[in-house]
Amino acid sequence: MAAEALVRFTRVFGESPTRWIAYGIAIGIASGLGAVAFAVLLELATHLTFGMLAGLPVVHPPGDQLLQLPGEIAAEPRRWLFFLLPTLGGLASGVLVFAFAPEAAGPGTDQMIRAFHRERGKVRGRVPIVKGLATLCTLAGGGSASIMSQRGSVVVDSRTNTLIIKELPNFIDAVIAIIEQLDQVG
């Protein structure tokens, strides 16, 4: 069915300059659907790792939560797991990449330049999928991500045992909720 649609598309647009508009629309729709799928999978994975395993509810800034997820938050927070999750996420990410697409290691910039110049722009089909899954593992484990915005910053004053937090108003509630979960005696 998809092959027939592609053949029909080629017949209709052929060499018409309009075909580039149609290609752009199709690529935009596919990219948007991929981004939505990634965001939903990331929210599910984060809920599983931090919410259900570590017992630390994931607090989203207003308007950022996509789903109302089922599942019990662990009764007692496992704070030790909060510090272990980034290691486990990074380990899972590394195993995925090196087992299924070693060329996807690292940020990928060098590999894309090499593919463009030496491979005529060809990249194995599994590379973007493996890279996406590895990114999900890393982010769901709490690595390479922040609950803060790009404008936010945290400074630790060890003399007074104080955190100095500068953040946008719609992110500050999430930061405060995490601090309240972690900063408990016992």
Mean pLDDT of 159-166: 84
Domain boundaries, the chain: 2-145, 147-186
Q: What percent of the chain has pLDDT over 90?
A: 11
Q: Which of 36-50, 60-74, 85-99, 157-171 has the lowest mean pLDDT?
A: 60-74
Distance CA 10, CA 110 (A): 34
Determine the length of the chain: 186
pLDDT of res. 74: 64
Among left, alpha and beta (phi > 0; psi -120 to 50; other), residue 3 is: alpha
Nearest to 181 by CA among 47, 64, 58, 49: 58
Give yes or no for residue 42 having a pLDDT over 60.
yes
Distance CA 53, CA 47 (A): 9
Distance CA 44, CA 66 (A): 10
pLDDT of res. 52: 83
Distance CA 81, CA 23 (A): 46
pLDDT of res. 179: 78
User: Mean pLDDT for the chain?
Assistant: 81
Give yes or no for residue 47 having a pLDDT over 60.
yes
Reported confidence tier of residue 37, pLDDT bands at 50, 70, 90: very high
Q: Give this prediction's pTM.
A: 0.65
